[in-house]
Structure 1
Amino acid sequence: MDSSAKNLDGTVQLVSDQGVILIPTPSSDPRDPLNIPLWQKLVILGTTCTYSTMGLTAVSGLGGILGEFIPAYAAQGKSYADISNLMTFPSLFMGIGNMISMPLALAIGRRPVFLGSCVLLVVSLILCATNQGYEWHFAARCVLGLAAGQSEALCPLMISEVFFLHERARYQQFFSSFQTIISGTLIILTSYIASTIGWRAWYYLFAGFSGLVLILAIFFVPETKYVRPLAAYEGMGALKDLSESTVVRSDVESPKQVQQFMTVHDKRVLDTANFLPRTLASDMALFVNEADWSEALSCIKHQCQLFFFPDVFWVFSMNGIFLGVNIAMGLTYGNILGEAYHWASKYISVAMAGQIVVAFVCIPMLGYGSDFIVKFMARRKGGIHEPEHRLLTLIIPLLLGILFSIIYGQAAAFPEKYHWMAIVITLNGYFFTFIGANTAGITYLLDAYPTRGASCLVMICAMRGVISFALSYGTVSLYSHHGYDGAFGLFGGITAAFGALGIVVYFTGKRIRHFVSPWTQVENTTKASMG
């Protein structure tokens, strides 16, 4: 085998004169996750999305009812900063949860880790609902963060393993948007629930839905890990031996090359003679693959290596900063609307309703838009797909993010000069910036480093958790000393700086990928790990 076959830098042929090429190349095994019928893929998408929604909303949705805890916890000697930790620390633990669960998922499979996370989510929510004091509540929410963390890395990995490259962005965005729509609806109801039947009922509501997700996952979410040869990630899964003269990227018109890949128009025939059929029993099996602890160790090693890749560092830093700003707005909007704009407490969470609108806008703009752009650009470049084309969808979210952050700070600092809509629009608008960075960042790294997908997702989620924690943790002190206008003006400047770095990554990304390729080699080309 030529040593060059061990390198995969993300540049692949996506379009031929026969149509869009299926990457990864599906096998003829009925139990290959890529061969799952679309309806079942959508069930997997819906179940993982609902799980993610319950966890993330329980972590981030507390901002609307944070004031409910102030009298009781102040009586226990807790400051507002201590009470704010009920939101900031779970975000940190989400990152820690990713760093623990992803190597485990690579070693023993996605399904057992996902089911275990569902159980932990239910238990932690019940503990939150039954807490008898600040310390109990704080500890339970940290466990909640550990459970919810899988929604940011494991769930996107599972989704990427059942869909192809050319449809990756739309389904990742469906996952994100439907999560936002459901969580937005629940957040709107948060203030009403807390003001009528109490905040404990709010936690019980999430515990009940999470229990339902656990039941659905047991029956309808099969194992998505599947061992593929390296060639499958180049659209050449049927080939056993490749030479430099037969690389699919060189000539779209070559009849010899047309036979090397499978397109969306080709009929897929499953081999039921040499492979076992997919059944409900096979889908419900807890352990499908033999445990491979070397993959867990490799994942940890790869995470350490990826930390120093310039493009990966930019993606997770950008995501961390934008998430931190989003959390900072979530921490402050309740007090701003209540004290400066005189909103009644039961209406405050309604301000987040705009996230539902944002979610619907994101599907065509960031989901289908990204997939359209990569196919359009590939056709312009002789069928070749470059991962950097995923970053083009960032332009509008970044520009709006700069504007929204500055206006939010000004409206918070000078309420006599602004209408309350300035807070509501910018609060939801910056969420669009974060979602744009999240979708573009995930799809870019999955395309650029297909055999490091799991490690890339962990780096994004874990490091952005750490960075956003640091930023949001200092928010109270920052606006106390420099005012809302100073704090969020600074955040606007940081958003602009990361946008400028994005231009650099777009034009140098291919050279970066080539430079780091010695550290992304696959030793066994017949078993390309997603770690």
Structure 2
Amino acid sequence: MLSSLSHEYDASSLLPGSIFLITSDGRTLRLPIPSSSSNDPLNWTPWKRVCALVVLFFFTIIGLIQVQGLSLLLVALEDEFIPKETRPFQLNILLSSTSLFQGIGAFVWIPLSLAIGRRPVFLSCTAILMVATGWAGMSESFYQHLGARCLQGLAVGVCSSTVLLMIIDLTFTHQRPQAIASFWSICAALSNAILSIVPEIVTALGGWHAFYWVFVPFTMVAMLLGFVFCPETYFHRPAIAFDGHVLAQSGTEVVKVYEGWNEVPGGEPTPERPETPLEAVMKVFRVWGTGRKGGWAAMRACYPNILLCALNPMIFWVLLLNSLVLGGLISISTTYVDLLRSEPYYFPIRRIALIRISATAGALLAWPASGVITARIALRLTARNRGIRDVEHYLPSFILPILAGSASLVLYGLAGQHHWHWAWIFIAFGLNYFSFIALFTSNTLWAIEAFPRWAAAALTVVIGASNIASFGLSFGITPWIQAQGFAAPHCEIGALLFAVGCVAVPVAFWGKRWREYIHSRYGMNESGALRPRA
């Protein structure tokens, strides 16, 4: 193994975003290398890791139901809030505002997790969602409801930001495509399956307020489970002695081999004292992280890196992709209810809600497409590249979701414009959801792997800015449709998505050269890495 790590140091340490992953005898290295500490999430037992993941998935499902379910309540809310009460906004601001605050949440929660740890950020968001959901259930005026919805969006913003970092903390490098794909796919599939029965819940329990009250206990359960089963995942792996040498992992998770402790920056770490049984039990009740390093200085340093990533063309590209696919999804989500209620369909809201079953199918299909296939293609390309995995090996994963997303928007626009059979609208929605989940997986992988020194900052830009941009698009979709008709705006968004996706072609050919240039000029600062050493 040491010879393999030496090869890695020689071949990949000069260019973050490339890493020696497969040895000459075909073994896949388990990187990053776990430490000897019991606090290292890579040392957790399978049961402990599964429990933590189940809690993260559970909270995300509840959060997605809350922020997306309003599209099925707009009919009831139209009778509750007349246009005079919502001025200067339209009623659908209740749906799109959550996207804005999910984006703002990414800019808050990721940097904050670098300062205080993942666990306190996650637990804070479970508490915020519980309060916001109860507030929404009690709201009597439009602006009270809007305030609660914004607070819900802020809390759920942790799911696409810090929760993703927690999943990354819990997995080895070669497991990340599967882990991220399964997270997006399972959470989206189950949340949409539950959303398909929301009108039944509202009818049975006597009004739209019940939609929120039903889920308040679930938010309480999520907070309790998070407190018990989600320890701190944010961990700095100290240098370790191995076979007469010293192995150290940088903030980019690249291994460096030293001949002795005198060569290691900072010298030999203080050995960790074994935990007593009482300390192990009490650690469950500790809110603040145990593996933090960098503190508030790392949080402050993250924001300049966010700006740097926003100006980085290889990050800006996936930001545009994310914005367009999310904008397309929001456009469909805010129009499909009115479309299916009008001529020639005249569907009742209970039948309209069944469109969410197509979204469930699309989300489930995205798992093998963006997880299984992506992992296999990347490993095969890595093996052909002498065992060195370049981030460009993930580019094939963009092809299918870009084509599916463009096709779904064109199909939806034409079906709505020309009143095609309702099945085409259902198919377009499912296809669009497939694209949304698969592309989010690819964009997340690209953000954290292309520039590992700025992984946290890059993820903030890709997730946060795209949510904010899609919120802006939601304001323009109604006048856009009024000016050009139903088909043209959706076809144009689909064409833009395809055009921006075509940037993957030059990235495939010259991406490594661009990465090398960018890192040579700006790559020394590791404050935005997954585990910064600020």
Q: Tell me the C-alpha RMSD between the 2 structures.
A: 2.7
**Compared CA separation, residues 331 and 298, structure 1 to 2 (3 A):** same
The residue matched to 2:472 in structure 1 has which SS?
A: helix
**Compared CA separation, residues 525 and 105, structure 1 to 2 (3 A):** closer
**Compared CA separation, residues 273 and 431, structure 1 to 2 (3 A):** closer
**Compared CA separation, residues 272 and 350, structure 1 to 2 (3 A):** farther
Q: Is the 8 A contact 1:23 1:233 kept in 2?
A: no
Choose the corresponding residue for 1:57, options 65, 72, 91.
Answer: 65
Q: Is the 8 A contact 2:251 2:532 kept in 1?
A: no
The residue matched to 2:517 in structure 1 has which SS?
A: helix
| Structure-1 residue corresponding to 2:514 | 512
For 2:530 and 2:489, how far apart are their aligned partners in 1?
49
Q: TM-score, normalised by structure 1?
A: 0.88
| Structure-1 residue corresponding to 2:427 | 425
Is 1:490 aligned to 2:513, yes or no?
A: no
What do the CA deviations read for 1:43-83 (whole angstroms, capped 9, x no partner)? Answer: 22221112122222211221122111112211644379610
The residue matched to 1:521 in structure 2 has which SS?
A: coil
For 2:15 and 2:149, how far apart are their aligned partners in 1?
41
| Structure-2 residue corresponding to 1:170 | 178
Is 1:9 aligned to 2:9, yes or no?
A: no
| Structure-1 residue corresponding to 2:413 | 409
The residue matched to 1:31 in structure 2 has which SS?
A: coil
| Structure-2 residue corresponding to 1:240 | 258
Is 1:339 aligned to 2:342, yes or no?
A: yes
| Structure-1 residue corresponding to 2:3 | none
The residue matched to 2:503 in structure 1 has which SS?
A: helix
| Structure-2 residue corresponding to 1:184 | 192
How many angstroms does 1:283 deviate by? Answer: 4.0
**Compared CA separation, residues 219 and 527, structure 1 to 2 (3 A):** closer
More off after superposition, 297-306 vs 4-13: 4-13
More off after superposition, 103-112 vs 397-406: 397-406
For 1:530 and 1:350, how far apart are their aligned partners in 2?
49
For 1:354 and 1:88, how far apart are their aligned partners in 2?
22
Count of residues in correspondence between the two structures: 500
| Structure-2 residue corresponding to 1:374 | 378
For 2:60 and 2:353, how far apart are their aligned partners in 1?
20
What do the CA deviations read for 1:190-214 (whole angstroms, capped 9, x no partner)? Answer: 1212233221111112222111110
**Compared CA separation, residues 80 and 391, structure 1 to 2 (3 A):** farther
Choose the corresponding residue for 2:222, options 188, 213, 219.
Answer: 213
For 1:311 and 1:66, how far apart are their aligned partners in 2?
39
More off after superposition, 229-238 vs 196-205: 229-238
**Compared CA separation, residues 387 and 6, structure 1 to 2 (3 A):** closer
What do the CA deviations read for 1:355-393 (whole angstroms, capped 9, x no partner)? Answer: 221222122221122111111111111101011111211
For 2:72 and 2:179, how far apart are their aligned partners in 1?
29
For 1:203 and 1:7, how far apart are their aligned partners in 2?
52
| Structure-1 residue corresponding to 2:78 | 70
For 1:379 and 1:497, how far apart are their aligned partners in 2?
31
**Compared CA separation, residues 134 and 79, structure 1 to 2 (3 A):** same
What do the CA deviations read for 1:148-191 (whole angstroms, capped 9, x no partner)? Answer: 10011100000001101100010111111111122112210112
What do the CA deviations read for 1:294-316 (whole angstroms, capped 9, x no partner)? Answer: 00011111101111111110111
Q: Is the 8 A contact 2:12 2:388 kept in 1?
A: no
Choose the corresponding residue for 2:304, options 301, 320, 325.
Answer: 301
Aligned-partner residue type, residue 490 of structure 2 = F
For 1:458 and 1:73, how far apart are their aligned partners in 2?
35
| Structure-2 residue corresponding to 1:22 | 30
For 1:76 and 1:383, how far apart are their aligned partners in 2?
64
**Compared CA separation, residues 520 and 44, structure 1 to 2 (3 A):** farther
The residue matched to 2:425 in structure 1 has which SS?
A: helix
Aligned-partner residue type, residue 494 of structure 1 = L
Q: Is the 8 A contact 2:227 2:285 kept in 1?
A: yes
For 2:227 and 2:249, how far apart are their aligned partners in 1?
33
For 1:498 and 1:526, how far apart are their aligned partners in 2?
27
For 2:355 and 2:174, how far apart are their aligned partners in 1?
36
Is 1:447 aligned to 2:430, yes or no?
A: no
Q: Is the 8 A contact 2:448 2:455 kept in 1?
A: yes
**Compared CA separation, residues 526 and 414, structure 1 to 2 (3 A):** closer
Aligned 1:36-115 pairs, distance under 5 A: 36-74=44-82, 76-78=84-86, 82-115=90-123
What do the CA deviations read for 1:94-136 (whole angstroms, capped 9, x no partner)? Answer: 1111111221110011101110110000000000010011011
Q: Is the 8 A contact 2:12 2:19 kept in 1?
A: no
**Compared CA separation, residues 488 and 5, structure 1 to 2 (3 A):** closer
How many angstroms does 1:272 deviate by? Answer: 9.5
What do the CA deviations read for 1:218-240 (whole angstroms, capped 9, x no partner)? Answer: 00001011113663677764733
Is 1:400 aligned to 2:404, yes or no?
A: yes
Aligned 1:456-467 pairs, distance under 5 A: 456-467=458-469
| Structure-2 residue corresponding to 1:148 | 156
Q: Is the 8 A contact 1:522 1:528 kept in 2?
A: no
Aligned-partner residue type, residue 229 of structure 2 = F
Q: Is the 8 A contact 2:12 2:18 kept in 1?
A: no
The residue matched to 2:73 in structure 1 has which SS?
A: helix
Q: Is the 8 A contact 2:456 2:529 kept in 1?
A: no
| Structure-2 residue corresponding to 1:254 | none
Q: Is the 8 A contact 2:109 2:161 kept in 1?
A: no
**Compared CA separation, residues 57 and 17, structure 1 to 2 (3 A):** same
| Structure-2 residue corresponding to 1:286 | 287
More off after superposition, 283-292 vs 376-385: 283-292
Identity of aligned residues (%): 26
The residue matched to 2:158 in structure 1 has which SS?
A: helix
**Compared CA separation, residues 148 and 109, structure 1 to 2 (3 A):** same
| Structure-1 residue corresponding to 2:211 | 202
Q: Is the 8 A contact 1:26 1:232 kept in 2?
A: no
| Structure-2 residue corresponding to 1:193 | 201
| Structure-2 residue corresponding to 1:227 | 236
Aligned-partner residue type, residue 258 of structure 2 = K
**Compared CA separation, residues 241 and 425, structure 1 to 2 (3 A):** farther
Q: TM-score, normalised by structure 2?
A: 0.88
How many angstroms does 1:452 deviate by? Answer: 2.1
| Structure-2 residue corresponding to 1:388 | 392
Gaps of 5+ in 1: 243-270
How many angstroms does 1:524 deviate by? Answer: 9.3
The residue matched to 1:12 in structure 2 has which SS?
A: strand
**Compared CA separation, residues 5 and 402, structure 1 to 2 (3 A):** closer
More off after superposition, 284-293 vs 322-331: 284-293
Is 1:357 aligned to 2:357, yes or no?
A: no
For 2:88 and 2:377, how far apart are their aligned partners in 1?
46
Gaps of 5+ in 2: 1-8, 239-247, 261-269
Q: Is the 8 A contact 2:233 2:291 kept in 1?
A: no
What do the CA deviations read for 1:313-361 (whole angstroms, capped 9, x no partner)? Answer: 0111110111011011000001111113111122211111112212221
Q: Is the 8 A contact 2:363 2:433 kept in 1?
A: no
Aligned-partner residue type, residue 282 of structure 2 = A
For 1:528 and 1:7, how far apart are their aligned partners in 2?
18
More off after superposition, 514-523 vs 52-61: 514-523
Q: Is the 8 A contact 1:188 1:352 kept in 2?
A: yes
Choose the corresponding residue for 1:314, options 291, 314, 317.
Answer: 317
**Compared CA separation, residues 423 and 466, structure 1 to 2 (3 A):** same
